[in-house]
Structure 1
Amino acid sequence: MDVHKAITATDWLRVLRTDPAPRHYLVCFPPGGGSATAYRDLALECGSGVAVLAVQYPGRQDRLAESAVPDLHELAELIAGELLGQGPLSGLALFGHSMGATLAYETARRLEDGGQELTTLFVSGRPAPSFAETGRLHLASDEELITDLERLAADPAPIALLRTEPGLADLVLPAVRSDYRAVETYAHRHGLPLACDLAALVSTGDPTTTPQQADEWRAFTSGSFARATFPGGHFYVDEHVGAVADFVVRHLDDPARRNE
């Protein structure tokens, strides 16, 4: 496989960092309600040798006119098809946070089934796929959705604007509600564990995921497993982007240090 081949940008795949001779391609999956731009800072911190891309889901930003897809299995099929269409790639890794972690996992399964090898799946801020959501906030009022977004946000002030700016709420909340539905109706389908390495990232103050739940990801790979813990809340990645990037690059470049 050609390690120097570039991944072509598409409606689904946005290039955040290019590299003339990448050792690795890192494809990032945004959290629920998020977009590809959520990973701009992570891309900048990854340094040379790593080309970084992010998935752009329909129903937001420049894909606002498209219908959001409220099913993680369907989304994974579509994203895997985009990546498999790029041709074989060496050094391909996936990173997903929150909803994006489960979606990256489901995409990884389909990529491996399609013959595309992966080096590592990084899953952040999300329990293992065997976890069953009991909430049904996708059926709740806009006010309840906004309140939950505030609960998870590092800074709830921008979220509060959704109450006072109805035009903004009309743009943002449909995709948020669709993503909540995708997460809350997701059911894991049993199959073989992944062949790639898997690293679970979690924070000390995340109300959605405990370190013990992060450790349960170990059962979903036959490759090596590592768990890294960071300070902060659910969106700790934004607060500690340099440390997260350092962990990712160290893990990709130096297998002997992956469990540090």
Structure 2
Amino acid sequence: MTEPQSTLWIRRFQPRPTAPVRLVCLPHAGGSATFFAGLPAMLSPEVEVLAVQYPGRQDRRGEPFVESLDQLTRGVVDELLPLTDRPLALFGHSLGAMLAFEVARSLMAVGHAPAALFVSGRRAPSRQRPEYDHALDDDGLLREIRTLSGTDNRVFADEEILRMVLPAIRADFRIVENYRYAPGPPLDCPLTVFTGVDDPKVSADEAEAWRGHTTDSFDLVTLTGGHFFLTAHQERLAEVITKGLTPFLARR
């Protein structure tokens, strides 16, 4: 069978056509697939990374932004269903964490439960609080973004570029802030949650609340840093993900 190549939605920065498991990576608000370009080199060569590219950014900048998490979920699920010939794991940060959770629920509902779910930088779906950042003016939105990046400016180092992507960030914030969790059956896959001790968007209790969203194993990994703590802990992230996927690597 011919191995699928990159599509509008999916990027393969290091294709591994014989890998026994695929890891689907979902970016944060305003983020793009290239955020995960370096991850494949840190993981086991038996894991193929598929990075999702949302509409309205980079080579998809001519497309309209997605207006809801439901719409984004449907788009991703449609892309992933043909790839369920082997185990699929999901990893998402912030907006990507919410999306990964909803994609996991949709896949489970049609008999393709993910091999594992890894989320970071987001409180449990059942723990909601009011947010209105998408309604801020550009300067206010920039201040909020700087607050999220904390003392680590690697994610948002260039203000000129940052202003260029503000429309995508605002659109994604709107998706996040309009999301409403619909109660349903818990997942039946292992769930690992990463959280930063100084993340203003996620308290320790809100991170722990993810435990109630799966009937399988649960692990909470707490690391130093704010909302983008993963930029300083990429090796640890890769280590935990590889360990979580080990049972599927051993099936060859």
Give the TM-score normalised by the residue count of structure 2: 0.91
Match of 2:89, SS state, is: strand
Residues 72, 182 of structure 1: 8 Å contact kept: yes
Counterpart Cα distance in 2 of 1:140 and 1:206:
20
Alpha-carbon distance change, 242 to 169 in structure 1, aligned in 2, over 3 angstroms: closer
Alpha-carbon distance change, 6 to 239 in structure 1, aligned in 2, over 3 angstroms: farther
What is the letter of the counterpart of residue 56 of structure 2?
G
Deviations 1:94-148 (A, max 9, x none): 0000110001101111111122231101011100001223121111100111001
Alpha-carbon distance change, 36 to 25 in structure 1, aligned in 2, over 3 angstroms: same
State the number of aligned residues: 247
Alpha-carbon distance change, 19 to 35 in structure 1, aligned in 2, over 3 angstroms: same
Once the two structures are TM-superposed, the CA of residue 197 in structure 1 deviates from its matched residue by 1.2
Gaps of 5+ in 1: 256-260
Alpha-carbon distance change, 143 to 109 in structure 1, aligned in 2, over 3 angstroms: same
Cα-Cα RMSD: 2.0
Once the two structures are TM-superposed, the CA of residue 155 in structure 1 deviates from its matched residue by 3.3
Match of 1:187, SS state, is: coil
Counterpart Cα distance in 2 of 1:242 and 1:75:
29
Deviations 1:14-40 (A, max 9, x none): 112322431220000000010001011
Counterpart Cα distance in 1 of 2:189 and 2:215:
7
Counterpart Cα distance in 2 of 1:116 and 1:177:
32
Deviations 1:68-115 (A, max 9, x none): 11311110011101111x253322100000110001101111111122
Counterpart Cα distance in 2 of 1:185 and 1:7:
34
Other-structure match for 1:258? none
Match of 2:12, SS state, is: strand
Single out whichever of 67-76 and 172-181 deviates more from structure 2. 67-76
Deviations 1:143-176 (A, max 9, x none): 11100110111534884753xx4xx466311111
Other-structure match for 1:66? 63
What is the letter of the counterpart of residue 243 of structure 2?
R
Counterpart Cα distance in 2 of 1:8 and 1:117:
23
Counterpart Cα distance in 1 of 2:168 and 2:41:
27
Other-structure match for 1:108? 104
Match of 2:63, SS state, is: coil
Alpha-carbon distance change, 243 to 157 in structure 1, aligned in 2, over 3 angstroms: closer
Q: Percent identity?
A: 39
Gaps of 5+ in 2: none
Single out whichever of 86-95 and 46-55 deviates more from structure 2. 86-95
Taking the TM superposition and a 5 Å limit, the aligned residue runs for 1:1-260 are: 6-84=3-81, 86-153=82-149, 154-156=151-153, 159=156, 161-162=158-159, 165=160, 168=161, 171-254=164-247
Counterpart Cα distance in 2 of 1:88 and 1:160:
37
Residues 97, 123 of structure 1: 8 Å contact kept: yes
Counterpart Cα distance in 1 of 2:194 and 2:208:
9
Residues 13, 53 of structure 1: 8 Å contact kept: yes
Counterpart Cα distance in 2 of 1:235 and 1:178:
19
